[in-house]
Amino acid sequence: MQTILSSLLAVALVIAAAPSTAFDPGHLAQLKNTKKCPRCDLTNADLRNAILNGAHLDGADLTNADLRKAHLAGAQLNKANLTSAVLSDANLNGANLIQANLRGARLFRANLSGANLSKANLIDARLRFAKLLGAILDGVKLCRTMMANIKIRYRNDHCPK
């Protein structure tokens, strides 16, 4: 009997210690219905082709989220966690990503024109063929960032003289 209890306790401890790997379904429904879900857990959410222009996702956890071809123009993603998110072919034109964590994110052919990426973490991110025309990149972390074949032009009003 004691062996069974010990085994059950061990299994319970492993389950309790395991990190959450799924998004909160209520948060996903809230985002789809209102386009407002600050500080939501959308870890691993499938948001391919989602129409989220102007969405409010400040502080949201979008770790490993699939945002391929998502429409996020003008979205508020300040301090959002987009670690390892897939944003290939996403439209982030004019989005606010101030202090966003995009570590390891895939941004192939993403449109970040006019986006504010001030103090964003782009370490290990992949930006092949991305558009960054007029993007604000003050204080961006770019260690090991792949930036091949990108189109970039800094906004003069944010560049030091």
- Tell me which amino acid residue 139 is: G
Domain assignment present for residue 116? The answer is: yes
Domain assignment present for residue 26? The answer is: no
Domain assignment present for residue 17? The answer is: no
- Confidence at 24, pLDDT banded by 50, 70, 90: confident
Q: Using alpha carbons only, how large is the chain's radius of gyration in Å?
A: 18
Domain assignment present for residue 84? The answer is: yes
Say what the pLDDT of residue 16 is.
Answer: 41
91-105 pLDDT, tens digit per residue, is: 999 999 999 999 999
Q: Where is 132: in which H helix or E strand?
A: strand 131-133
**Any idea what the CATH number is for the domain that residue 96 is in?**
2.160.20.80
What is the C-alpha to C-alpha distance for residues 21 and 137, in angstroms, rounded to an integer? Answer: 31
Encoded tokens for 34: 């209102």
More confident residue, 66 or 161: 66
Domain of 87 in residue numbering reads as: 37-161
* CA nearest neighbour of 37 among 53, 21, 60, 67: 60
Domain assignment present for residue 71? The answer is: yes
Domain assignment present for residue 55? The answer is: yes
Say what the pLDDT of residue 157 is.
Answer: 52
Structural domains of the chain, count: 1
Query: Does the predicted model carry a pTM greater than 0.85?
Result: no
Say what the pLDDT of residue 63 is.
Answer: 97
- Supply φ then ψ for residue 4, to 5 degrees: -65, -45
79-90 pLDDT, tens digit per residue, is: 999 999 999 999
Over 50: is that where the pLDDT of 13 sits? Answer: no
Over 60: is that where the pLDDT of 9 sits? Answer: no
Say what the pLDDT of residue 141 is.
Answer: 85
Instruction: With beta carbons less than 8 A apart as the criterion, state whether 90 and 107 touch.
Output: yes
Question: Mean pLDDT in the chain?
Answer: 84
Domain assignment present for residue 27? The answer is: no
117-147 pLDDT, tens digit per residue, is: 999 999 999 998 999 999 999 998 888 777 7
Domain assignment present for residue 32? The answer is: no
More confident residue, 6 or 50: 50
